[in-house]
C-alpha cells in the first residue's frame, strides 16, 4: 500500500519505495539518525504552542484519527494538529490545519531546518492532494521553519512562516501520474534494478544504504575528489567501484590531483614529505596543549544569546606536554542543565596559560567555537583570542604531507590513528564519535536517572580523553618519523 512516507521514498528512489514495502528488514537506522528524527519531532510539538486553541487529533491507528478529524471539523474546530485524511489508501497527517476564513483552510508544515527546502514542498503537495480530495477547500500552504535570527530567551520569533502555495500547487498537478508510477513499482514482484549514487544521501540518507552499498569498498571511486558527475555515473552503471578496476582509458582523462591519488593508492606505499612535516613541527612551541572540544547545538536555543543550532561547548580535554617530556591531563565536563559556557571558559583559561602551542585536529571547529566564546564573554576575550592565535592544526600534516593507503583516502583522526598507533583504538569505547557524544550528553543532562548520568559522564570523559591522547600519540609518531631521517 502506498503511504505518505513511501511516497516520499519513491520521490528519492524507486528501489527505496519497493524495498520499504517488500523487504523492510533490509533497512538500518543509526542511533544518531534516530536522535535527529526525535529532534525534528520535538520541534513539531513545540510549534503547536504558536497556535493557541489548536486541538490535537489522537486515536488508535490512522482510521480512528481520520474519524476523529472528521468529527472535530463537523463540530466547528478551526485549528487541528495532526489532522488525518486518506484518499485511495494514501494517508496523510497535517502538522497544522487551520481555518483562514470560514470554509477555507491553510496547511502548515513544521520543519526543524532554518530554511525552506525542495523536499518540504513535496511534503505539502502530497498533503494538499489528499486533503483537497476530501473536500476541504484549501487556501494556502505554509512552511514554518526555525528562524536563524531568533536569540534566546526571546523565543517569540522562533519560527518563520513562508507561503509556498504557488510552488505546491504546481507540484500537485504531477501527483496523479506519480501515484500511478509508484503503484506500478509497488506491484512488481522483483526488486527494481536502480543504481546507487548521490541520490542515496539526498535529500535524506537512505535507510537501505548499508544494503545497496554492500559491494562498495571503503576506498572506492567515491573517494576520488571532484570526480566528474558523468564519469562517476558511467562507472556506477558499469558496477565499477574499486579503484583497482578503473578502466585504463579513463585515467588520462582525470586531473593531475586525481591521478596522483589513484597512483598513490595503487602503489600501496605511504607517501611522506619529511621536509614538509619537519617544517610544520618546527612551528610548535612548548608547552604543547593537545586540545579538543565537544559541543552541542540544540535546534531550540536554550542558553542566553544563542540562536537555533548554535554550537555550545560542554566539554574539553587537554593533554599538556612540556619540553622535558612530562605529560599531564586536565578536562572539564558540564553536568548541569544551565549554561555550560561560563564555567567551561573559566576552566579553560586555567588549563591553558599564555604560552605554548594549542594542537587541534581540523582547526576550523575549535577556532570558531573559541571566537564565539570570546564574543560572548568579552572579559575573557584576550585569553581566548590568544588561544586562537596559537592554534596549530595536526590534520594539515595528513592532508598535505603524509598519505597512507590504509588511511582509506581520509584525513580523519579515526582513520589515521589505527594505522599509525594501532594500540590506541576507539573500538572499545562506548562513545566513538562526536555526534554520539553530543546526543548522549543531551540525554544525560535531561535525565533524572543518576546511574545513567554517572555512566554517561564516565563515557564522555573517556571519549574526549582519547581524542587528545590520540593527538599526543600521533605527535610522538611524527617526531620519531622525522628524527629517523
CA nearest to 331, candidates 289, 276, 277 = 289
Q: Which residues share a beta bridge with 79? A: 98
Minimum distance, C-beta of residue 44 to ligand SF4, in the bound complex (Å): 25
Beta strand pairing call for 327-333 and 358-360: unpaired
Binding flag, residue 209, ligand SF4 (CB under 6 A): yes
Binding flag, residue 199, ligand SF4 (CB under 6 A): yes
Binding flag, residue 185, ligand SF4 (CB under 6 A): no
Of these, 19, 94, 397, 417, which contacts ligand SF4 (CB under 6 A)? 19
The total number of residues written for the chain in this structure = 485
Binding flag, residue 196, ligand SF4 (CB under 6 A): yes
Binding flag, residue 172, ligand SF4 (CB under 6 A): no
105 in helix, strand or coil?
strand
Kindly give the residue spans of alpha helices, DSSP state H, lying in 173-228: 175-187, 209-212
Choose one: 7-15, 60-68, 368-376, 460-468; the region binding ligand SF4 (CB under 6 A). Answer: 7-15
Contact pattern from residue 212 through residue 251 relative to ligand SF4, giving x for each residue in contact according to CB under 6 A and a dash for the rest: x---------------------------------------
Minimum distance, C-beta of residue 235 to ligand SF4, in the bound complex (Å): 15
Residue with cell 536517572: 449
Minimum distance, C-beta of residue 30 to ligand SF4, in the bound complex (Å): 14
Minimum distance, C-beta of residue 118 to ligand SF4, in the bound complex (Å): 16
Binding flag, residue 437, ligand SF4 (CB under 6 A): no
Binding flag, residue 22, ligand SF4 (CB under 6 A): no
Of these, 8, 16, 384, 395, which contacts ligand SF4 (CB under 6 A)? 16
Using the minimum distance from each CB to ligand SF4, give the nearer residue, 218 or 400.
218
Of these, 77, 144, 206, 370, which contacts ligand SF4 (CB under 6 A)? 206
Cell of 221: 571511486
Choose one: 156-164, 200-208, 287-295, 441-449; the region binding ligand SF4 (CB under 6 A). Answer: 200-208
307, 301 Cβ separation under 8 angstroms:
yes
d(CA 58, CA 61): 9
Residue with cell 511534503: 123
Binding flag, residue 351, ligand SF4 (CB under 6 A): no
Contacts of residue 261, Cβ cutoff 8 Å, sequence gap at least 6: 223, 224, 225, 409
Cell of 299: 535546534
Of these, 4, 22, 48, 194, which contacts ligand SF4 (CB under 6 A)? 194
Residue with cell 610548535: 284
Q: Which residues share a beta bridge with 328? A: 320
d(CA 141, CA 155): 23
d(CA 471, CA 362): 12
Site for ligand SF4, rule CB under 6 A: 12-13, 15-16, 19, 194, 196, 199-200, 206, 208-209, 212
Amino acid at each position: 500500500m502506498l503511504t505518505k512516507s513511501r511516497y516520499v521514498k519513491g520521490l528519492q528512489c524507486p528501489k527505496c519505495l519497493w524495498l520499504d514495502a517488500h523487504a523492510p528488514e533490509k533497512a538500518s537506522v543509526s542511533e544518531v539518525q534516530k536522535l535527529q528524527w526525535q529532534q525534528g519531532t520535538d520541534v513539531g510539538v513545540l510549534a503547536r504552542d504558536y497556535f493557541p486553541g489548536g486541538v490535537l487529533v489522537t486515536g488508535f491507528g490512522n482510521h480512528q484519527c481520520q474519524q476523529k478529524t472528521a468529527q472535530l471539523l463537523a463540530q466547528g474546530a478551526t485549528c487541528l494538529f495532526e489532522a488525518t485524511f486518506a484518499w485511495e489508501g494514501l494517508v496523510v497527517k497535517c502538522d497544522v490545519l487551520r481555518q483562514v476564513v470560514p470554509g477555507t483552510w491553510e496547511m502548515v508544515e513544521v520543519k526543524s531546518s532554518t530554511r525552506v527546502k525542495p523536499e518540504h514542498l513535496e511534503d505539502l503537495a502530497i498533503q494538499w492532494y489528499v486533503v483537497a480530495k476530501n473536500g476541504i477547500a484549501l487556501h494556502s500552504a505554509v512552511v514554518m521553519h526555525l528562524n536563524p535570527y531568533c536569540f534566546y530567551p526571546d523565543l517569540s520569533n522562533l519560527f518563520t512562516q513562508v507561503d509556498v502555495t504557488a510552488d505546491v500547487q504546481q507540484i500537485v498537478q504531477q501527483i496523479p501520474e506519480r501515484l500511478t508510477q509508484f503503484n506500478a513499482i509497488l506491484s512488481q514482484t522483483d526488486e527494481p534494478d536502480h543504481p546507487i549514487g548521490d541520490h542515496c544521501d539526498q535529500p535524506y540518507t537512505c535507510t537501505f544504504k548499508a544494503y545497496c552499498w554492500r559491494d562498495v569498498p571503503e576506498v572506492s571511486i567515491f573517494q576520488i575528489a571532484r570526480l566528474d558527475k558523468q564519469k562517476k555515473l558511467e562507472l556506477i552503471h558499469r558496477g565499477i567501484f574499486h579503484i583497482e578496476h578503473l578502466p585504463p582509458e579513463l585515467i588520462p582523462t582525470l586531473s593531475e590531483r586525481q591521478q596522483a591519488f589513484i597512483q598513490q593508492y595503487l602503489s600501496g606505499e605511504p607517501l611522506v614529505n619529511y621536509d614538509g612535516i619537519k617544517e610544520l613541527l618546527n612551528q610548535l612551541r612548548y608547552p604543547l596543549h593537545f586540545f579538543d572540544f565537544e559541543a552541542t547545538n540544540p535546534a531550540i536555543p536554550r542558553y542566553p544569546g544563542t540562536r537555533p543550532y548554535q554550537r555550545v561547548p560542554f566539554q574539553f580535554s587537554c593533554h599538556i606536554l612540556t619540553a622535558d617530556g612530562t605529560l599531564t591531563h586536565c578536562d572539564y565536563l558540564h553536568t548541569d542543565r544551565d549554561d555550560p559556557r561560563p564555567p567551561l571558559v573559566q576552566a579553560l583559561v586555567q588549563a591553558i596559560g599564555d604560552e605554548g602551542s594549542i594542537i587541534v585536529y581540523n582547526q576550523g571547529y575549535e577556532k570558531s567555537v573559541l571566537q564565539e566564546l570570546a564574543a560572548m564573554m568579552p572579559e575573557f576575550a584576550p585569553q581566548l583570542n590568544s588561544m586562537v592565535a596559537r592554534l596549530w592544526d595536526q590534520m594539515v600534516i595528513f592532508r598535505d604531507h603524509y598519505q597512507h593507503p590504509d588511511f582509506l583516502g581520509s584525513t580523519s583522526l579515526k582513520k589515521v590513528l589505527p594505522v599509525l598507533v594501532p594500540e590506541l583504538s576507539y573500538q572499545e569505547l562506548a562513545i566513538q564519535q562526536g555526534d554520539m557524544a553530543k546526543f548522549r550528553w543531551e540525554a544525560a543532562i535531561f535525565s533524572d536517572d543518576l546511574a545513567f548520568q554517572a555512566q554517561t559522564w564516565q563515557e564522555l570523559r573517556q571519549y574526549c580523553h582519547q581524542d587528545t591522547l590520540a593527538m599526543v600519540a600521533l605527535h610522538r609518531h611524527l617526531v620519531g618519523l622525522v628524527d629517523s631521517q
